[in-house]
Structure 1
């Protein structure tokens, strides 16, 4: 059984985000199950998906007034950098490193999804952001200034509250 499996606990009630997250979980499980000769291609597929996944969320944040350097986007960059470094080292023969990284990502992802991504999903619903088109159907619910935190309740400064 994979270390991380999709469950309703990971669902954020935003279908496009949930579908992307479900794919991440499936690709992570594929890396975990891969034989040694298939682990690097499976890891590359995970990196490709994760790049698109994070680019999509970063675009949604920009469309709904998150600051460019917010901690959610910064975490995306750091995770991708670490995944790419793992690929380089695995290509140099350190396959076991990828196996360890699967375990770390399996621990990291639920926390990220249930905090940072949940905050983003809530924010997107409040301002009626259409993730497919980028349209904001309730612009009066957008924050007056850019959100510099992650979007979760614990991290977002009061100054980023929706405009009245």
Structure 2
């Protein structure tokens, strides 16, 4: 399995989001390359980060009344639920599903970033511009 890597295709031009996404990619890559004794701990780190990461995005969507918020936030909830299930499996010593989940999460993240998050980043840049123009 090739670990996830940061690429320019994941760069969205909204610094707060890009920063969090780079951290996510780093943590997930560390998890993907971890040895078995560290695997569950690394998954926990990815999960903890992702809870904050998605929480921030969800808050931005609520505060700015982003039109695509319902679907976007639903995807976040589903992914977090699956990640939490993975943590339970990992803590029980069932590690192969964690490795599979990490691979699936990397593929999902790339698609999600280039679609759902790209739309949110554009919305947030427009919001920032409107606020600046109002002052």
So what's the TM-score if we normalise by structure 1? 0.76
Q: Whole-Å Cα distance in 2 between the matches of residues 58 and 69 of structure 1? A: 7
| 1:93 Cα offset (Å) | 1.7
| 1:126 Cα offset (Å) | 1.4
| 1:89 Cα offset (Å) | 1.1
Structure 2 counterpart of 1:98: 98
So what's the TM-score if we normalise by structure 2? 0.91
Structure 2 counterpart of 1:16: 16
Count how many residue pairs are aligned between Structure 1 and Structure 2: 134
Q: Whole-Å Cα distance in 2 between the matches of residues 66 and 103 of structure 1? A: 29
2:40 and 2:87 in contact (8 A); partners too: yes
Structure 2 counterpart of 1:40: 40
For structure 1, the 5+ residue unaligned runs are: 130-135, 141-164
| Larger of the two Rg values belongs to structure | 1
Q: Secondary structure at the match of 2:111?
A: helix
Q: What's the C-alpha RMSD, in Å, of the aligned pairs?
A: 2.1
Instruction: Rate the CA distance shift 1:43–1:50 in 2: closer, same or farther, 3 A.
Output: same
For structure 2, the 5+ residue unaligned runs are: none
